[in-house]
Structure 1
Amino acid sequence: MYKLNNLTNFTSLLKTKWDEIHNETDIFRYKIDGVEERIVDGKYFLQLNPDRRSKRRTPEEMTSISQPFDEKKFHFNKVSTKEILFSLEGRDGDIHTVLVNVSPISRYHSLLCPSVSRCLPQVVTPDSLNIVVQVMFQVEDRDVRIGFNSICGFASVNHLHYHIFVEEKTLHIETVKWQHFKWEMYLLDDELSVPAFCFKIKQDSSGQTLQQAWKVLKYFLEKSIAHNILFTKRGLGDDELYLIVWPRRNTCGAKQLSAFNVAMLELSGWFPIYDEEDFKNVQAKDLEAELVKWKRDDFKSICENIKCIL
């Protein structure tokens, strides 16, 4: 057990524990070794991972962005203790668990499950945002990203969790120029196939900016707008990070393991690919055509509404 506010070796601890489980146990549904990679058009990062389609757990069927937690379905309190990398204790004594993702997209792909024993649904909360920010300000390098997929935004388990990734390559979303929108909030609506909002969070004023971000996310929840979130420090100082949010078209039903499931990673410019022919032949126009399918027609009106609530 580690204290959330006093964890100085998060990345090295995660890597060490993850490697031990990956190399010495049969917990993973498949191994992540020698994954083929490809860069398309200088900005889209592709990884070939056919095992994820054929060997991962069947995603849960979900129809409402605020669908209640269901004890009868799969959740993270049902996993083997062998899947636990480590646990973090918050100031209130709440336990936040870091698990391996047994069907990983890439090496070190893990899950952060805030307040795991409370059995919260996959709905973003102010407390969980704060937990992620605390973790991000304690990671030792900028290769760590943490992301969230809402229900109807290609989440596959209805139990509150965030994805942890460690990747040395810079993602396309981390290279774009943001336009100031309001307060510490920025906007990108011209360059991306799916426009996004961005909050620049400074360590000494994170609470205030997180309150602004929560107002936006609460609006999405109230309006049943699916969304994906990325936390990244890439390109910033040690005491700053970006919280990027994409409002997007809603999905319905179970997540299909098709050629492209556009969630947080894909919106960032990172595409896990399941088919070798797709991996070899897909072009930027194909990826962008898939991305733009999830762009909301009402993004401009969403911007106007958000200006009024901030």
Structure 2
Amino acid sequence: MYKLNKLTSDSLTSFTSLLKTKWNEIHNETDIFRYKIDDLKERIIDGKYFLQLNPDRRSKRRTPEEMTSICQPFDENKFNFNKVSSKEILFSLEGKDGDIHTVLVNVSPISRYHSLLCPSVNKCLPQVVTPDSLKLVLQIMFQIEDGGVRIGFNSICGFASVNHLHYHLFVEEKTLQIENVTWQHFKGEMYTLDENSTVPAFCFKIQKDSCNQTLQQVWKVLEYFLKKSIAHNILFTKRGLGERDDVVYLIVWPRRNTSGVKQLSAFNVAVLELSGWFPIYDEEDFNNVEAKDLEAELTKWKRDDFKTICEDIKSI
């Protein structure tokens, strides 16, 4: 069990180094993964959309859970991360009040080092964002020096696959399209991509020395989404709006709700796709898809009431 505040005290046991070392050991020396991640084909479209071909993920991954409500209760009888093999555990972090934050390999990875952060895994929380889990993710992000690390969250009805609180950990050195956009100031440390964008979004510029204050603003917005049953996807990145080591950018997209079982078609629009990173499962799609096709798919999930959402958020 590691203490989070000691992970950066020794470069040999930094969060990213520990993640990569343990992930490679499990990937190379065991049969835990449902398929191997080696030399995925990649393609950049129009200088901004990043495609990766990963056909095994469609055919070999675990069947996603059926979910219909954004605050659907946890069900211990369904698959959850307390049921995984101990061999899937990369490491665990010790939290307050007996909390255990577990980092697992994703056995059906999108890319190399794709892992899952399960905050307070022992508490059996549903896939609903919480203030404590946001604080945990930000604590990790502020300690990570590698700008290629991103952490993502998909809400229920926002293409989450498992109803047990978890965030996705990714390592990718390429800059994502969302990290290059021009944001418009909204209020405080909050910025927007307005309704003229392919999919409107909010961005919070979170500085280390004022993290708690900005996080209160973040939580008010997410709490509003939960009360209004607005599905959402969240990305944490250190790239964008002028990169600084003491700043983390939290991007959140309110989006149209999905329901039922997640289907793996050419691509599902979750946090990565909204960021400009498209895992593709069919080689013909990978070779032939164009930017207009990607943007048409993204637009399907664009809400019609973004102006109303902005007005509501200004008043809270």
Q: Which TM-score bucket, shorter chain as reference?
A: over 0.9
- Of 86-95 and 18-27, deviating more is 86-95
Deviation at 1:190, TM superposition (A): 5.3
Structure 1 match to 2:120: 115
Residue of 248, 251, 255 corresponding to 1:248: 255
Structure 2 match to 1:3: 3
| SS of equivalent to 1:117 | helix
Q: Distance in 1 between matches of 2:146 and 2:196?
A: 28
The yes-or-no answer on 1:233 pairing with 2:238 is yes
The yes-or-no answer on 1:52 pairing with 2:44 is no
What 5-or-longer segments of structure 1 have no aligned partner? none
Identity score, percent: 83
The yes-or-no answer on 1:261 pairing with 2:248 is no
Structure 2 match to 1:291: 298
After superposing on structure 2, the runs of 4+ consecutive aligned residues of structure 1 that deviate more than 6 Å are none
1:23-34 to structure 2, matched below 5 A, reads 23-34=28-39
**Any idea what the Cα deviations from partners look like across 1:66-121, whole Å, max 9, x if unmatched?**
00000000000000000000001124331100000000000000000000010000
| SS of equivalent to 1:200 | strand
The yes-or-no answer on 1:90 pairing with 2:95 is yes
Do the aligned residues in 2 keep the contact of 1:10 with 1:140 (CA within 8 Å)? no
Q: Distance in 2 between matches of 1:6 and 1:23?
A: 27
Corresponding letter in the other structure for 1:79: V
Corresponding letter in the other structure for 1:287: L
Residue of 221, 236, 245 corresponding to 1:216: 221
Q: Distance in 1 between matches of 2:7 and 2:228?
A: 37
The yes-or-no answer on 1:279 pairing with 2:282 is no
| SS of equivalent to 1:137 | helix
TM-score between both structures, scaled by the size of structure 2: 0.97
Do the aligned residues in 1 keep the contact of 2:149 with 2:171 (CA within 8 Å)? yes
Residue of 181, 204, 207 corresponding to 2:209: 204
**Any idea what the Cα deviations from partners look like across 1:216-248, whole Å, max 9, x if unmatched?**
000000000000000000242110010000000
- Of 186-195 and 133-142, deviating more is 186-195
Corresponding letter in the other structure for 1:180: H
Q: Distance in 2 between matches of 1:182 and 1:45?
A: 31
Do the aligned residues in 2 keep the contact of 1:5 with 1:90 (CA within 8 Å)? no
Q: Distance in 2 between matches of 1:214 and 1:6?
A: 27
Deviation at 1:260, TM superposition (A): 1.5
The yes-or-no answer on 1:41 pairing with 2:37 is no
Corresponding letter in the other structure for 1:267: L
Corresponding letter in the other structure for 2:279: P
Change (3 A) 1:175 1:191: farther
Do the aligned residues in 1 keep the contact of 2:195 with 2:307 (CA within 8 Å)? no
Residue of 169, 172, 178 corresponding to 1:173: 178
Structure 1 match to 2:307: 300
Do the aligned residues in 1 keep the contact of 2:195 with 2:306 (CA within 8 Å)? no
| SS of equivalent to 1:295 | coil
Q: Distance in 1 between matches of 2:212 and 2:196?
A: 29
Do the aligned residues in 1 keep the contact of 2:72 with 2:126 (CA within 8 Å)? yes
Q: How many residues align?
A: 309
What 5-or-longer segments of structure 2 have no aligned partner? 9-13
